[in-house]
Amino acid sequence: MSTKIGLPVPMPMLLPVTGTALVPFSAYFLFLSLRITYHRLSNRKYVGTKMGDSNEDPKDPLYCAYRSHSNYAENLPLALALCGVAELNGASRKTLAYSMTAFFVLRVLHAEFGMMIQSALGLGRILGYYGTQTWLTGMAIFNWVLVKDYWTAH
């Protein structure tokens, strides 16, 4: 399969799984951003995350929304890079699609069922955090397995 969008010659699709994953990941990123905007406008807190005299109160919805967005933004680039590199190095696209779905679920668990519930200590936060760390480690090892023969052959 190839495409000619913007190019005078056909090009093969190199990262269809990573490109497809960008759709829900981008949509959720925008949702997290809009939630911060909603809390800022409804509380007239246009800069920072502290509401009144609170000091990073885990019950403060603006603070929780901000941290949910930040945690997501901290982890997503590495996940996309790991997926893209694995895809370029011949990983099964079906495996990568399932893997990216799992990563998405872990990040939603962390934010929606962890950070955004009262006190920001929901079970989703624990599952999302440890699941994400395990996922990142597993994908890094998977990438190494995909390229290890290159290093032993040279």
CB contact at 8 A, 73 and 29: yes
In a domain, 100, yes or no: yes
In a domain, 129, yes or no: yes
Domain count, the chain: 1
In a domain, 108, yes or no: yes
10-68 tens-digit pLDDT: 777 889 999 999 999 999 999 999 999 998 888 777 666 555 555 566 678 888 899 99
pLDDT mean over 123-152: 95
pLDDT mean over 108-118: 90
In a domain, 67, yes or no: yes
pLDDT mean over 103-128: 90
In a domain, 75, yes or no: yes
Above 70 in pLDDT, residue 109?
yes
Position 51 scores a pLDDT of 52
Find the DSSP H helices in 44-112: 61-88, 93-110
What is the reported pTM?
A: 0.84
Range of the structural domain that residue 83 is part of: 34-45+57-147
In a domain, 69, yes or no: yes
Alpha-carbon separation of residue 146 from 16, 47, 149, 150, 151 (angstroms): 18, 45, 8, 9, 11
In a domain, 118, yes or no: yes
* Pairing status of strand 11-12 against strand 2-3: antiparallel
In a domain, 84, yes or no: yes
